[in-house]
């Protein structure tokens, strides 16, 4: 099917007709899967440029709008929406992949699921509704911004599972404790299914969510431009396995050289996807910017992985690559001395940042001596991530919470002192 897709693509997509001609490749060059490396990579910026010159869906669309039954969007780091169309056949393929992923994560027809993600342009919304209904589970479409209704549903409907971003799973637990004075474990959830951002695979962050809810946490990984769910974690596994078989081909590449990386334990790289049977917005070797680590290979040869962050979010401090999500996980390990909520404060947009890296951290319910806590966190981050930091402790509730994706960095120009009421910045001693 992949070869058929490549043969048809130049006639359907002026974008790929030009790209293939520019790089001197054609479908006949594909005799084995290894030959796919001859084809050029597609980037997100290429898709934005394609839509800018040929709105609404771009020169890469593959079909006319009359064949599109639904449109989603991704915003990426620019905030400008990138439109993604799906035909009826595309939507059915998405439902198949998402249902396969949710079954892998342990969802079954006996579950009652609070869906704590938006049912709007977000690909984690309507496609998950379709898949949950296909499985036969009961879906409660709460969405975001309605935590009181989520609590009501959990109290009245025998809810067994929550599907949301990791940020919302923690946000809702905090809401239950702080606003209602109740223990989240009272609701009896057994499954927390998370995705949409890094966090579900961070050990300390994950353990915190699991402990708060008394539930098993599993994560999934998808991509708005390719499919909502492409990797999913089996309960108790060491990572996520690929669930996009027959619709999507996945590669692992070195993000700097573009060369393929063999998926063996300990390997790291960027995920690249090729659609096999996509009608609208078919993509060839699409760079996701998702950086992953191969954590294990199963007895039957299936690689398992964890997403450590997006290449777009990565910071470089004196040549050391660091992801803000990794800093969050180190800080989360100090709970309850910290709340686990952090923001990296940048004097200018990254990725290169001069040391020490400025990190705001909320102290928790049992902070102890604040100066000693700040020094301890700086040591922990240095020992784990090999990065020098200056930790500023701030009161609980000072930093932004989110019901969708957490913003782990912010740009704050000025003299770098960032003095503010309630903020403690230990000086050098």
pLDDT at site 51: 95
Q: Which helix H or strand E contains 151, and what residues bound it?
A: helix 147-156
Q: Can 89-311 and 314-411 be said to share one CATH topology? A: no
The per-residue b/e assignment along 43-54, b for 16 or more CB within 10 angstroms, e otherwise, is ebebbeebbeee
Question: Of 182, 172, 180, 123, whose CA–CA distance to 144 is shortest?
Answer: 172
Look at residue 219 and give its three-state secondary structure: strand
Homologous superfamily of 314-411: ANL, C-terminal domain (3.30.300.30)
What is the rounded average pLDDT for all residues in the chain?
91
Both tokens of residue 266?
């300990």
CATH match of 89-311 with 3.30.300.30: no
Q: Quote the CA–CA distance of 280 and 137 in Å, as a whole number.
A: 29
pLDDT at site 419: 41
Both tokens of residue 209?
């969510």
pLDDT at site 15: 97
pLDDT at site 417: 47
Alpha carbon 97 to its chain centroid, in Å, reads 17
Mutual orientation of helices 126-135 and 88-104 as an angle, nearest 10°? 60
| pLDDT tens per residue, range 231-271 | 999 999 999 999 998 899 999 999 999 999 999 999 999 99
pLDDT at site 429: 35
In the chain, which residues have pLDDT < 70?
A: 75-80, 403-404, 413-429
pLDDT at site 427: 37
CB 284 within 8 A of CB 62: no
pLDDT at site 119: 84
pLDDT at site 18: 97
Alpha-carbon distances, residue 259 vs 270, 361, 401 (angstroms): 10, 38, 38
CB 399 within 8 A of CB 341: yes
Domain ranges of the chain: 89-311, 314-411
């Amino acid at each position: 099917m992949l070869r058929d897709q490549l043969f048809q693509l130049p006639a359907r997509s002026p974008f790929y007709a030009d790209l293939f001609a520019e790089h001197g490749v054609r479908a006949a060059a594909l005799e084995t899967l290894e030959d796919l490396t001859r084809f050029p990579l597609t980037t997100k910026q290429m898709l934005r440029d394609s839509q800018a010159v040929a709105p609404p869906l771009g020169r890469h669309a593959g079909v006319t709008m009359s064949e599109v039954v639904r449109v989603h969007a991704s915003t990426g780091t620019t905030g400008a929406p990138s439109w993604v169309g799906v035909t009826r056949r595309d939507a059915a393929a998405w439902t198949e992949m998402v249902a396969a992923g949710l079954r892998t994560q342990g969802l079954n027809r006996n579950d009652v699921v609070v869906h704590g993600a938006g049912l709007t342009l977000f690909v984690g919304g309507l496609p998950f509704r379709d898949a949950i209904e296909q499985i036969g589970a009961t879906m409660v479409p709460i969405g975001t911004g309605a935590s009181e209704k989520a609590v009501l549903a959990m109290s009245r409907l025998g809810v067994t599972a929550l599907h949301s971003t990791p940020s919302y799973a923690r946000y809702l637990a905090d809401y239950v404790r702080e606003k209602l004075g109740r223990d989240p474990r009272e609701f009896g959830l057994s499954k927390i299914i998370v995705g949409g951002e890094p966090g579900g695979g961070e050990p300390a962050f994950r353990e915190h969510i699991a402990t708060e809810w008394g539930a098993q946490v599993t994560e999934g990984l998808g991509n708005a431009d390719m499919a909502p769910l492409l990797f999913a974690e089996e309960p108790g596994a060491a990572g996520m396995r690929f669930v996009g078989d027959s619709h999507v081909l996945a590669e692992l590449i070195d993000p700097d050289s573009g060369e393929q990386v063999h998926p063996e334990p300990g390997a790291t790289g960027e995920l690249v996807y090729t659609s096999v049977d996509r009608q609208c917005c078919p993509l060839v070797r699409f760079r996701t910017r998702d950086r992953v680590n191969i954590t294990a290979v199963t007895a039957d040869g299936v690689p398992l992985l964890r997403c450590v962050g997006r290449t777009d979010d990565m910071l470089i401090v004196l040549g050391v690559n660091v992801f803000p999500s990794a800093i969050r996980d180190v800080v989360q390990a100090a709970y309850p001395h910290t709340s686990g909520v952090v923001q990296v404060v940048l004097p200018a947009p990254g990725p290169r940042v001069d040391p020490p890296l400025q990190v705001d951290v909320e102290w928790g319910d049992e902070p102890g001596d604040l100066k000693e806590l700040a020094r301890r966190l700086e040591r922990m981050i240095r020992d784990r991530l090999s990065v020098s930091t200056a930790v500023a402790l701030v009161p609980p509730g000072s930093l932004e919470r989110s019901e969708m994706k957490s913003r782990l960095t912010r740009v704050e120009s000025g003299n770098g002192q960032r003095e503010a009421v309630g903020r403690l910045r230990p000086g050098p001693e």
